[in-house]
Chains A and B, each alone.
Chain A
Amino acid sequence: KAGVTQTPRYLIKTRGQQVTLSCSPISGHRSVSWYQQTPGQGLQFLFEYFSETQRNKGNFPGRFSGRQFSNSRSEMNVSTLELGDSALYLCASSYGLAGETQYFGPGTRLLVL
């Protein structure tokens, strides 16, 4: 099976802009979770989508949003970018069961100038 794919891999934006990141899960997986990784805060959970519904959300401002499509592909959007949003954004997919292993994609490196 093909792994989790994320596009784009690298992105440079300026403050105030918005950005959309995409994640295609492993075939058959219905759950997609997003994580932000920064040197200062480490790996932090953003949100999880399961069957097109947001099932869980981390402690991030409303500028961070996401959605999931019927084919389980997911997008996350960050509006009004701030310098502190510069990070590696990782998505992970799984079938959606409790305690199940989540498989990660290669990530999108976002740089906000």
Chain B
Amino acid sequence: AQKVTQAQTEISVVEKEDVTLDCVYETRDTTYYLFWYKQPPSGELVFLIRRNSFDEQNEISGRYSWNFQKSTSSFNFTITASQVVDSAVYFCALSEGVASARQLTFGSGTQLTVLP
């Protein structure tokens, strides 16, 4: 069975601080996909990044960066120089590598509050 753990329930930082959101996953599959989504108060899940299990290269997109380490089954997300608009709930998710089992298994989410 697949499992995603986001141990940080809530994080509060002051604007311009860097913040890292942790994600640890469990799966027996050799092919799998990892995702991060952002959920603002409006409720819609906004896609941020997708990674497959064969690509451990870290990625940077503006102030966002992701660190994927298969050795520790982790896929952590860092926001550099946080802004108030980054306040939201962030979800890490995992899916299997077969079309018949595409459902996303989500972590419990991390509520990030960025204070001005």
Contact = CB atoms under 8 A, between A and B. Distances in A.
Contact of A107 (B44, B52, B95, B103): B44
A99 B45 contact: no
A109 B43 CA distance: 9
Interface residues of A, number: 28
B102 A105 contact: no
Contacts of B44: 90, 104-107
Interface in B1-52: 31-33, 35, 37, 42-47, 50, 52
B91 interface: yes
Contacts, number: 73
A56 to B, nearest CB: 6
Interface residues of B, number: 30
A88 interface: yes
Contact of B109 (A42, A44, A104): A42
B85 interface: no
A2 interface: no
B109 A98 contact: no
Interface of B: 31-33, 35, 37, 42-47, 50, 52, 91, 93, 95-109
A64 interface: no
Contact of A99 (B42, B52, B107, B109): B52
A100 B50 CA distance: 8
A102 interface: yes
A104 B45 contact: yes
Contacts of A48: 102-103
A113 interface: no
A56 B52 contact: no
A90 B103 contact: no
A101 B95 CA distance: 10
Given A101-B47, A106-B44, A56 B103 contact: yes
B99 A106 contact: no
A98 B97 contact: yes
A60 to B, nearest CB: 12
A91 to B, nearest CB: 10
Given A42-B109, A43-B106, A55 B100 contact: yes
